[in-house]
Amino acid sequence: MTIHADKLRWLLWLRWKTLTRGFSRRPASLVGAIVLLLVVLWIGGSIGVATFFAYRNLTPPANSEVLYLVLTGVLLVWIVLPLLEFTGNEGLDVSKLTLFPLTRAELMASLLFSTLLDIPTLGLVLVLAAVIAGWAVSVPVAILAFFTMLIFYMLVVGVSQLVLAIFMSTLQSRRFRDLSIIILALFGSSFYLLQQFVFGGTRFLHFTESLQNGSYSPYLQWLPSGVAARSILLAIQGNWGASLAWLGVLLVVGLLVLYLWQIVLERSLSRPEVSGSPRVRAQRREPPGIPASSAGARPADTSESSWGRILSPQVTAIARKDLKYFWRDPQLKAMMFQSVIYVAIFLVGPLLNPSSSRFAGSSYVLFIAPAVVLLFLLTLSLNTLGLERESLTTLFLFPVPPQRILWGKNLAVFALGLVELLVLIALGAFFTQNWNLALPVLVVGLAGMGVTLGCGNFTSVYFPQYVRQMQRGFRATGQTSQAGCLRAVMSLLMLIVTAILLIPVALALWLPYYFQVEWIWSVTIPLSLAYGIAFHQLVTRLVAPRILERAPEILAITTRE
Amino acid sequence: MTPEHNISPFASPVIPRPMPSAYTNKSLAIETHDLLRVFGQKAAVNHLNLTVQRGEFYGFLGPNGAGKSTTIKMLTGLLRPTAGTAYVGGVNVWQDPLQARALMGVLPEYLNLYERLSGREFLLFAGHMYGLPEADIRRRAEDLLHILTLTEDANKLIVDYSVGMRKKIALAAALIHRPQVLFLDEPFEGIDPVSSRTIREILHDLTQHGTTVFFSSHILEVVERLSTRVGIINQGVLVAEGSLKELREKASGENKDATLEDIFLNVIGATEEAHNLNWLE
């Protein structure tokens, strides 16, 4: 277990360099880091302050129960989040360091020290500092609490790294990565629902009574977090022998975890990389040949009819491809699921809780349905070329007329929007028993889709944006600040513009209803549909040629090659 | 700096062309006039004048950062030239891009494929994009999958493919419409020897049937074996061009047995410097 101080110093220098170099090479990432820092400070600080007062002011055994729960929560968070690559501790990339003749002790020590430079560690330190401050009833207890938290910190980092190493092959599988992207995206958007669930669960489990009765510690005391808590609590009771014994147990467990982590990591790194099952393919015996056909590539056939162009094989192929992508690409799938959650929050929630809804029993729910769908459509169509990400290069290599690219993409989004609109209208009409409004709302929704897709085509061509390939972890799940502000401002601006352009459509539905002259719908509703179609066609025809003219510039923005 | 100063004695002469037109000499597969691309202060491609005949197998060589990929991107319409014109199959790439794209197949340096499609789906998609009839698309896709030994993995998503498999599926997509001109940027990188041989045979077969292959590679043996003509670019300037025999005569003087590597190193001015790492001994 030799540790050369010089090597350790150089390893820490490496960690510092990679951190600062990241900011100097991409200054924009500094903004993201500052935001993350503020969030971590806020969360860690809030928990720290709240738990400090809980340790001090709650009557025993509730305060010690809080200690058990907090330490166990910290341990669980540090185990679970790295699995989603919400990297609790980035530290050093040990897989690269194994090339050098470093001892296990040096690797462990460098990992532990380098984690102090990770932003999430700050939150952890605040929570652990609150434990020390909250239980420092005397100097000896404060010193013991300090060392207990130090060892617990080592254990927490070690356990999270051990779990990562154990599940390394699973974590690297594409299916798991896809799933974690969706889970993370949904976690953010379903906060309201989770909140309701947690509060409901808290009431159900009689949380406060359990705290006062000390119901948690009998179970949690056997976990490493419980051992740490028990060591502090025994010292406060004056049972120093038992306290130090449990501290020793914690230290042994911590060292064991670090050792196991190192062993598992070494094995996983030395395991040969295998992709798929081994398969020996028979060598090709047939002479090579080029698939022969009289048919070659055909650029646009301008003699086709309008409908022929709109529903040409190229358009339907692009639409089919996009629909497959909506389902198979975790980033796009997450966007779709998020829209379902928004629907649940804005529509289904009020419908199922009539007492809390001012919309209950009225037809407003039906009127809101197209707005929810159009909002969803806008997120998918505002930057339709950017959503292709790197593959846009491939699309631009094909001899496809630009109108067809837009039509194909619009067709896919329209299909999704139509399904969502039909479902929402059916649900709304069912709950409010306003089936007479279903058809007008549907037609107005279609008209709105025309306007929304038209606006999306305009922004996609003139203001394409880079969409970062979403990966697991906080480093790429929206906390990146690359074009973040511009994107937010532009999205807001486009939302306003689209809303203004949708006013005629909304008025066509709303005014006759408000003045109770619904017979006018027979004129206004078809007119709104005509307006939506005409707007979409006009805008698409005007902006599509610019795709060809601006292809390299669009690629430069959206692909960052 | 004028174009004349940048072109080496080995390179093709400059043909002044004041007004670019949408179409040019259709007997040439590729033609560029004073093609220039400047990044900041640096000219990545410096007044490049290039002509490639139909059916030629043109090897495009150069050290790292010489401008090979930039040239291919400009020829395929992915990067706008700062100045100059580029024709593919007689069509101005920047004035009639759709027509030009219909004539070419491209295997780019970075394979930005539709990773969430399976290999088969991607080929079908590519076939539709080129406007081929449905029956032809299906037959050609199966033929290409078979020839490139991808049939077994045809229903796997491309995201799960290895580097070599990605390259092969990208090549298949570039071939499906039987292009007149095929641009290949480092086609043999990451390809196993068996597939590499298959691809070489396919490419050779293609040129026998009139397709032009324009490819860049670092693997000089492959270039030497396949190319009917070679162009060497260095610091954005075409420093040498001709058949292997011509280059050998021009660049290596008396040395009639010079390999392409000798010629290449000679032309780009690389000198063999003895290393001074005595401590290795």
Smallest Cα distance from A321 to chain B, Å: 8
Q: What integer is the mean pLDDT of A498-504?
A: 92
Q: What is the pTM of this model?
A: 0.72
* Chain A residues touching B128 at Cβ < 8 A: 313-314, 316-317
Residues of chain A positioned with their CB less than 8 A from the CB of B93 = none
B104 or A342: whose pLDDT is higher?
A: B104
Separation in Å, CA of A248 to nearest CA in chain B: 47
Largest Cα span, chain B: 66
- B78–A298: do the CB atoms touch at under 8 Å? no
Instruction: Report pLDDT digits (tens) over B123-175.
Output: 999 999 999 999 999 999 999 999 999 999 999 999 889 888 999 999 999 99
Using the beta-carbon criterion (under 8 Å), do B112 and A555 form an inter-chain contact? no
Which position has the higher pLDDT, A339 or B135?
B135
Helices B163-175 and B134-147 cross at an angle (nearest 10°) of 140
Residue A76 burial by CB count (10 A; 0-12/13-18/19+): exposed, middle or buried?
Answer: middle
Which of residues A107 and A320 earns the better pLDDT score? A320
pLDDT band of A491, cuts 50, 70, 90: confident
Tell me what pLDDT residue B84 has: 94
Residue B105: what pLDDT?
Answer: 95
Q: What average pLDDT does the segment A4-8 reach?
A: 83
Q: Which among B160, B176, B205 has CB closest to A288? A: B205
Distances (CA, A) of B18 to A77, A152, B21: 68, 76, 10
Q: Is the pLDDT of residue A317 over 80?
A: yes
Shortest Cα distance, chain B CAs vs residue A548, angstroms:
7
What pLDDT does residue A411 have? 95
**Quick one: pLDDT at residue A204?**
56
Interface contact B114-A288, CB threshold 8 A: no
How far is B66 from B43, CA to CA, in rounded Å?
Answer: 10
Model pLDDT for residues A173-211, shown as the tens digit of each residue: 666 666 666 666 666 666 666 666 566 555 556 677 777
**What confidence score (pLDDT) does residue A192 get?**
61
- The mean of the pLDDT values for chain A is 79
The predicted model gives A481-489 an average pLDDT of 58
- pLDDT at residue A13 in the model: 86
Amino acid A91: pLDDT: 59
Nearest Cα to A89, choosing from A78, A99, A80? Answer: A78
Interface size between A and B, measured as CB pairs under 8 A: 146
Q: What is the pLDDT of residues A513-531, one digit of tens each?
A: 888 888 888 999 999 999 9
**Token representation of residue B33:** 């006039």
Contact list in A for residue B116 (CB cut-off 8 A) is: 324-325, 328-329
Mean pLDDT along residues A132-136: 90
Half-sphere CA count of B276, side-chain side, radius 13 A: 1
- Interface predicted TM-score (ipTM): 0.83
More confident residue, A343 or A552: A552
**Cis link prior to A61 (omega < 30° from 0)?**
yes
Q: How close A160 gets to chain B, by Cα (Å)?
A: 28
- B139: chain A residues, CB-CB within 8 Å: 291, 293
Cα dihedral: A495, A499, A500, A504 (round 10):
160
Q: What is the pLDDT of residues A437-468, one digit of tens each?
A: 889 999 999 999 999 999 999 999 998 888 77
Per-residue confidence (pLDDT) for residue A28, from 0 to 100: 67
More confident residue, A516 or A471: A516
Return all residues near A377 (Cβ < 8 A) that are at least 6 apart: A413, A414, A416, A417, A449, A452, A453, A456
Residues of B in contact with A325 (CB under 8 A): 114, 116
Phi first, then psi: give them for residue A327, nearest 5 degrees. -90, -35
Distance CA B69, CA B187 (A): 12
A61 C-beta neighbours (distance < 10 Å), count: 18
Given a cut of 60, is residue A284 above it in pLDDT?
A: no
Pick the residue from chain B with its C-alpha nearest to A396: B78
Confidence of residue A267 (pLDDT cuts 50, 70, 90): confident
Which residue in B80, B178, B194 is closest to A290 by CB distance? B178
What is the C-alpha separation between A547 and A401, in angstroms, rounded? 9
Nearest by CB: A291 against B102, B133, B139: B139
Asked whether A254 and A159 are in contact (CB, 8 A), the reply is no
Residues of chain B with pLDDT under 70: 1-26, 251-256, 271-275
B-chain CB neighbours of A390 within 8 Å are 110, 112
Considering only A68-77, A92-101, A401-410, A471-480, which range has the smallest mean pLDDT? Answer: A471-480
Contacts of B175 in chain A (CB under 8 A): 290-291
Q: Would the pLDDT of A161 be above 90?
A: no
d(CA A499, CA A501): 5
Is the pLDDT reported for residue A18 higher than 50? Answer: yes
What percent of chain A is predicted at pLDDT more than 90?
Answer: 27
